[in-house]
Chains A and B, each alone.
Chain A
Amino acid sequence: MTIAATAPAVVQKRRSAFSRHLTAYLFISPWILGFLFFTLGPLLFSLTMSFHDWPVVGERTFVGFDNYRTMLLEDPQFWESLWITVKFAAIYVPFNIVMSFLIALMLHHATFASGFFRTAFYLPSVISGVALVTIWSWIYSREYGLLNFMLSLVGVDGPNWLGDPGLAIVAIIIASLWGFGGTMLILLTGLKAIPKELYEAATVSGVPGWAQMLFITLPMLGPMLLFTFITSIIAAFQQLTIALLMTKGGPLGSTYFFAMYIYDNAFKYFDMGYAAAGSWVMFLIVLVLSLLVMRWSSAWVYYEGEVKGGDRNA
């Protein structure tokens, strides 16, 4: 009797749960389809390609790990381009974050015309990489460039920025840093979110400014710093547009980035399998670096509401 009475209700409830789930899946279906066709599919496809000799047109042949073996053991260009990219990242990433942090700090303390300054620093980040390259190519121009003119004012004979193998990569780093606005904005928002009471309490207790920076600002900014750290690393490894257009990898291959090496193998030599293998190597490097940074960050990133150790609270 009771079973008979409740059964339709249960069925109805199930059905409504089912239809509610169906509705939810319908709403997220654009992303699911996109994930299958434009992310997971391509990833698996490229993994398959990396184990093949795969020209754009013509016969493909399965070669096992040959692409990877050739790349790691017999292709000096792989190691050279990887080294150039690592060098670039090792300078670009810390500079990008430190510069963003310092300017965000200045903007945070500026009360007058802070909107104007914020805009000024952010503007370079809204334009295309192509525009950035044309603009900086002239700044670096040996004879008529703005940079060498400014150097000449202080009595320095400006070098040939884009023609010198040692300087070209420095030039690319500076041009890339010009677009630091996104990182800066994230850190500025983070600074603004730190409760003022923390500083007030510290000041009342006589904690000096540098200690407030060390024990309030930096820890509270932790999650943001971590986020910008990881996105900067990914951005550094993907560096392609500027090198492709400003130096074309030169002079003497001194700005031949890893992404360019992959690009050339794919779209210049049409060796899709080999290029796919290169892109997977890049993926793994970025993944491992990100995981390392995240693990390392657990030592210095503080999340609100998190209790560390526990004994300190006792």
Chain B
Amino acid sequence: MRKTLLYSALVLLSALFIAPFYWTFMTAIKSQADLYQFPPVFWPSEWHFENFAIAWNKQPFGTYLTNSLIVVVFSTIGQLVSSSLVAYGFARFRFPGRDPLFILLLATMMIPWDVKMIPLYMEFNLLGWINTLKPLIVPAYFADAFFVFLLRQYIMTVPVEIDEAARMDGANAFDIYWRIHLPLMMPALVLVGTFHFMNAWNDYLGPLIFLNDQSMYTLTLGLSMFKGLHEVDVTSIAAITVVLCLPPLALFFLAQRYIMDGAVGSSVKG
């Protein structure tokens, strides 16, 4: 009886959470006639998949997609390399100032982005990086506090004896990082890569502030601008929204195992 109640509640609630996705997809493939029906059409009689192609050609969405991909690919590489190097440094070395520096690193997670957004704009302006993709890529090469924290936790679970054995065999610090820890922390790297990919792909405020020219827009910025101009073109907005949601959703399904069982929660534990 209690189980029945539990599952009924779960089914109902999860349906509520999924419904907006379903609705968006159906809106994207509906005919114009079905769009403005009341009561709404939940199962359209005709499925117009060509709506995607039509929407895609209404603005240079191909360019936006290319820009998004450039940002995502290059920043993810930078994030994986830099965060794992820093995590290894914090996890496996004793050096003066290590603990205060690590606390400082954790403290940076609390700084609201709004505080950095204005001086960063000025800084990138000074460097001549405004209206280029660099502000969205370069910072990723300098490690992110949260990811360093996750990866460090992961390295700490590896017995130190493994490092020592490798050192006996003549491996230097970089070898140990490259040949031992990097392969061992693959699950954590998948987690970091997935999260960073999603953050970079989904980012709206960064592109909004740092990019001016339409030719430099990312997909999020492109969609928001398109929505601003063609509010009534619901089908096309829905179609592009579906395209925008697909990569993070697909990636989530692929990396699900790592995200769910991964270090997300266990690392937070005091």
Contact = CB atoms under 8 A, between A and B. Distances in A.
Contacts of B120: 38, 42
Given A110-B10, A189-B264, A279 B20 contact: no
- Most chain A beta-carbon contacts within 10 A, residue among B18, B89, B249: B89
Nearest to B251: A126
Contacts of B201: 128
A245 B27 CA distance: 20
B43 interface: no
B262 to A, nearest CB: 9
Interface stretch (B50-58, B104-112, B157-165): B104-112
Interface string B111-122: 111111111111
A128 to B, nearest CB: 4
B111 A127 contact: no
A271 to B, nearest CB: 10
Given A31-B82, A149-B39, A186-B268, A275 B142 contact: no
Contact of A21 (B90, B96, B115): B96
Contacts, number: 255
A23 B264 CA distance: 29
Contact of A46 (B18, B39, B118): B118
A211 B145 CA distance: 38
Contact of A283 (B105, B111, B139): B111
Interface in B74-93: 82, 85-86, 88-90, 93
Contacts of B142: 30-31, 33-35, 37-38
Given A31-B148, A42-B123, A130-B204, A185 B265 contact: yes
Interface in B168-207: 173, 177, 198, 201-205
B238 interface: yes
A166 B156 CA distance: 51
A286 B205 contact: no
Nearest to B257: A115
Interface of A is mostly: helix
Interface residues of A, number: 93
A123 B115 contact: no
A190 B120 CA distance: 36
A103 interface: yes
Contact of B265 (A224, A259, A275): A224
Contact of A238 (B9, B114, B259): B114
A98 interface: no
A193 B223 CA distance: 41
B198 A126 contact: yes
Interface in A112-152: 112, 115-124, 126-131, 133-136, 138-139, 143-144, 146, 149, 152
A289 B259 CA distance: 30
Interface in B253-270: 253, 256, 259-260, 264-266, 268-270
16 contacts: A21-B93, A31-B105, A38-B120, A39-B108, A39-B111, A123-B17, A123-B21, A126-B248, A130-B204, A146-B20, A190-B268, A238-B112, A241-B204, A266-B118, A279-B117, A283-B115
